[in-house]
Amino acid sequence: MAGEFFLKTYGCQMNVYESGVVRRILADAGFSETRDESCADLLMMMTCSVRSHAEARALGRLADFRGLRARHPDRLVVVLGCMAQRYKEELVEDARVDLVVGPDEYLRLPELIRQCRAGTRGIVAARLSSECYERVQPEPDNPVSAFVTVMRGCDNYCSYCIVPYVKGRERSRPLSRVLEETRTRVDGGVREITLLGQNVLAYRDGRQGFAELLRAVAQAAGTARVRFLTSHPRDLTDKVLHTMAEMENVCPFLHLPLQSGSNRILELMNRGYTRAEYLRLVERARVLLPGLALTTDIMVAFPGETESDFLDTIDLVQQVRFDSAYTFRFSVRPGTRAAELEPRVSAADSGRRLARLIEVQNRITLELNRAMVGQEYELLIEGPSPRGRGALGRTRSGKVVVLTEPTRPGTLVRARVTQLNGWTPVAQLRTTTNHNPIRPNGLSAGSKTL
């Protein structure tokens, strides 16, 4: 018996997907997973380096792992992902990690674990390559909705961002492999496919770009919903928008990171668009895709951001009216160009700006959610509602809605929103539009209907 592993994941959806890759590699090598870290032979962590806060949380958890190892010294502490790539030997020397494995080295995990067990503690494997894990079918994370990575790495070098340094050069997975994974997931009962990449719009396989990929995936997905993240505004073409509009199962949803509403800051960030171009893009997308939901990422307190730059961001947020936004305070990432830029915004100013941005966006989100009351939506049921007896579903545009009736995950229903509970729309069932919910074992219960 190879042993039991415990795997904690930090960071974005791409890390969730890559944890699935690691799970598959370990399962194929005879390891089994445990949810109970206190009895695991391998204490593993998939890490994120995008902001210092994410790193601090992971380092805190590593201390717990070391405590568990102290009681059973034959256990191994293993760090994977961005921090492994970034800190390499430092993790062995400072955090006493037994095995450090970067994002392109997961296929070597079983062999590296064997070497560690044979007595070589403190191994570092962190060579970047063009690895795409083409032959690995990741373990699913969710029986209703699946991530499928289409590209890895990033060549954009936004001046604040660590990703190009820790995830390597941009490379796309073969289209045939993406389609195969999509079909496997849909045949396994999944009702929604989310294509993933740091910038999916940069996808390329020979002459096929993202629009061709999206069309092919939408066809392969049958009646399952298709969405994708993340879209760099500079690369969003009419061709992609038209493909979204033509393919019925592609959801009217775009995650289009803005970062800043100030032209001066956008240029310092190396984002490659202006506020006017961003606004034109949003206008175009909304014309071509009625009912489009737009979400975004916004950063405050980039070095040199003045009050007037910040107010440009607030102004743009008010003009666009995003459905929701992930908001961040600039975090210095040593080694990036922005780490050298001056002047830094004070902690007091950055805190105040972040709070103001959140307040403005929260009001917009609430207004948009209020406008849902009285409307009918198609919901894909994802699971039980956290409180109460109902279910949690998602509209085609990606909004989370509480359904008052208990309903099996994987069911598609039509429901009318009757009220908000805090922020969250609450809906009552009208009709069930498919009859193939996910069975508890994750298998589809019947043929497709819509």
Contact positions vs ligand SAM (CB under 6 A): 12, 50-51, 160-161, 163, 198-199, 230, 232, 257, 259, 297, 299, 328, 330-331, 333
Look at the block and give the residue holding tokens 């999916």.
Answer: 200
Contact 220, 179 (CB under 8 A): yes
Binding letters toward ligand SF4, positions 162-191, x by CB under 6 A = -xx---------------------------
- Expressed in percent and rounded to 5, the helix, strand and coil fractions of the chain are 40, 25, 40
Q: Which of 161, 175, 314, 417 forms a contact with ligand SF4 (CB under 6 A)?
A: 161
Interface with ligand SF4, residue 199, by CB under 6 A? yes
Contact 180, 55 (CB under 8 A): no
Please identify, using beta-carbon distances, which residue of 336 and 395 lies nearer to ligand SF4.
336
Please identify, using beta-carbon distances, which residue of 55 and 104 lies nearer to ligand SAM.
55
Q: Within 213-242, which residues bind ligand SF4 (CB under 6 A)?
A: 232
Interface with ligand SF4, residue 154, by CB under 6 A? yes
Contact 212, 242 (CB under 8 A): no
Please identify, using beta-carbon distances, which residue of 257 and 425 lies nearer to ligand SAM.
257
Amino acid sitting at position 134 = E
CB atoms within 10 A of CB 30: 10
Vertex 86 angle, CA 81 and 91, to 5°: 85
For residue 135, report the phi and psi dihedrals to the nearest 5 degrees: -95, 0
Binds 333: which of ligand SAM, ligand SF4, none (CB < 5-8 Å by kind) = ligand SAM
Amino acid sitting at position 49 = S
Binds 164: which of ligand SAM, ligand SF4, none (CB < 5-8 Å by kind) = ligand SF4
Q: How far is the CB of 161 from ligand SF4 (least distance, A)?
A: 3
Q: How far is the CB of 257 from ligand SAM (least distance, A)?
A: 3
Interface with ligand SF4, residue 125, by CB under 6 A? no
Nearest to 278 by CA among 211, 310, 232: 232
Contact 402, 390 (CB under 8 A): yes
Please identify, using beta-carbon distances, which residue of 28 and 155 lies nearer to ligand SAM.
155
Please identify, using beta-carbon distances, which residue of 31 and 328 lies nearer to ligand SAM.
328
Contact 424, 386 (CB under 8 A): no
Look at the block and give the residue holding tokens 């256990």.
Answer: 75
Query: Which residues contact ligand SF4 by CB under 6 A?
Result: 154, 156-158, 161, 163-164, 198-199, 232
